[in-house]
Structure 1
Amino acid sequence: MNENMTETGADRRTQLRERLIEAAQEIIAAHGLAALKARDLAAAAGCALGAIYTAFGDLDELILRVNARTLARLEAAIDSALGDAAAEQSLQAMARTYLTFARKEEPSWRALFEHRLPPGAAPPQWYVDARNRLFNRLDGPLSRLLPGTSHRAREAFARTLFSAVHGVVALGLDEKIAETPPKMLDEQLEKLVRVLADGLMMESTRLI
């Protein structure tokens, strides 16, 4: 009987966690991360305010769970865009997919970068793993583009490439520097990846 009661309690907690994640995901997707307030979240999930902290250690953990789902959707979109194309074409496809995802799910996409953990706090390993899986998607095209380079060197290239693509996408969507119509942003991203791919091949000859 005690075991059944324990299992029932665990099931309730799992269901509560799922309701809270889904409610938080909907709030962020509709209104952005800044709109996520504990009291409104509890009302949306149909639970008491204190129940949030029974299901999660704090709001940071809950936000990371939502962001992990965003990363998973982005990962799935990138996987569906990849094929047997040449290295640069694969990188172009990944960059276009990233831009398309950012446009389609902008509030959720922005939440990936707007959320900050308290000073000194490190993200849990499960979240680091989810984030790193995206960087690992770049290793295949980069290994074909940069034959003979080490995995560590390709990891550095992957982060450089992502940072450049993300910067163009973020600034283009913000339009803080200049107005960037969708077609212009598409063209800028294509040129960036082409220039970076050419530059990486030149750099690889120095590092091999």
Structure 2
Amino acid sequence: MARRNEHSLIELKAIVLNAAETIITEEGFAALTIRKIAMEMGYTVGSIYMVFASRAELILHINARTLEDITTCLQPISATADIEAWLKAYLHYAQTNPDRWRMIFTPHSPEAEPLPDWYQAQLNSVFQQFATHFTQSPQAVQALWQGIHGICLLSQSDEIETSVLLLLRTFFGAGSLTSPDYYQEKVMIDTIKFATYESKK
């Protein structure tokens, strides 16, 4: 095994991310600190700041890894026409990796800075796997995607899959897949937004 001073910056970055993911998996996101990561690695805190300018930047890279993992895991299913199978696999990933999944949707920086392009591309890759199963308007599909995540974040774990599939089937019933009706889609979008708003009260 290479000594600490023999690692390149690329290798050091991977070591930091691996240590962070171990802590998140074993102890939860709340336990993640720069000092604890350094202890897990057997490095100094300063070593981490050699490859990540801030904790927020580190978390962004952890989330990017999670998004890449989701995309890879679901790629075989996304090639099929079975959106319910894709959603079940997505929900299974979220439930078996709860802390890593929730981190994606949790703000970690006080500054309202735009997401970097490389990170936005990772987010889009997951959404595009989902969106490819639909022919409705992009606005309608985006509203459905947001509604699904509202359910995931706010429902009890044993109710999530049932609620998500009910929402999906209701969405399909709101208009034709091949020739969607604008008014029906608008009603469905408003219904999803209202349900998400009500669940947050």
Alignment of 1:14-53 (within 5 A): 14-53=10-49
**CA distance in structure 1 between the aligned counterparts of 2:108 and 2:176, rounded to whole angstroms:** 35
Identity %: 25
**CA distance in structure 1 between the aligned counterparts of 2:112 and 2:146, rounded to whole angstroms:** 23
Runs of 4+ in 1 over 6 A off after TM superposition: none
- Residue number in structure 1 paired with 2:9: 13
- Residue number in structure 1 paired with 2:169: 194
Judging changes above 3 Å, is the alpha-carbon distance between structure 1 residues 84 and 40 closer, same or farther for their aligned structure 2 residues?
Answer: closer
Q: Structure 2-normalised TM-score?
A: 0.79
Pairwise CA RMSD: 2.5
SS of the residue corresponding to residue 108 of structure 2 reads coil
Gapped regions of structure 2 (runs ≥ 5): 184-201
**CA distance in structure 2 between the aligned counterparts of 1:43 and 1:11, rounded to whole angstroms:** 17
Please identify which structure carries the higher helix content. 1
Contact 1:75 1:134 in 2 (8 A): yes
Does residue 204 (structure 1) correspond to residue 175 (structure 2)? The answer is no
SS of the residue corresponding to residue 84 of structure 1 reads coil
Give the aligned length. Answer: 179
Judging changes above 3 Å, is the alpha-carbon distance between structure 1 residues 23 and 200 closer, same or farther for their aligned structure 2 residues?
Answer: farther
SS of the residue corresponding to residue 64 of structure 2 reads helix
- Residue number in structure 2 paired with 1:61: 57
- Residue number in structure 2 paired with 1:4: none
Which region of structure 1 is more displaced relative to structure 2, 104-113 or 193-202? 193-202
- Residue number in structure 2 paired with 1:168: 151
Alignment of 1:20-169 (within 5 A): 20-85=16-81, 90-143=82-135, 146=136, 153-154=137-138, 156-169=139-152
Contact 1:30 1:107 in 2 (8 A): no
Q: Which amino acid aligns with 1:20?
A: V
Gapped regions of structure 1 (runs ≥ 5): 1-8, 147-152
Judging changes above 3 Å, is the alpha-carbon distance between structure 1 residues 54 and 194 closer, same or farther for their aligned structure 2 residues?
Answer: same
Q: Which amino acid aligns with 1:170?
A: L
Contact 2:78 2:129 in 1 (8 A): no
Judging changes above 3 Å, is the alpha-carbon distance between structure 1 residues 115 and 197 closer, same or farther for their aligned structure 2 residues?
Answer: same
Judging changes above 3 Å, is the alpha-carbon distance between structure 1 residues 190 and 32 closer, same or farther for their aligned structure 2 residues?
Answer: same
Contact 2:21 2:62 in 1 (8 A): yes
Judging changes above 3 Å, is the alpha-carbon distance between structure 1 residues 200 and 125 closer, same or farther for their aligned structure 2 residues?
Answer: farther
**CA distance in structure 2 between the aligned counterparts of 1:164 and 1:23, rounded to whole angstroms:** 33
Judging changes above 3 Å, is the alpha-carbon distance between structure 1 residues 57 and 200 closer, same or farther for their aligned structure 2 residues?
Answer: farther
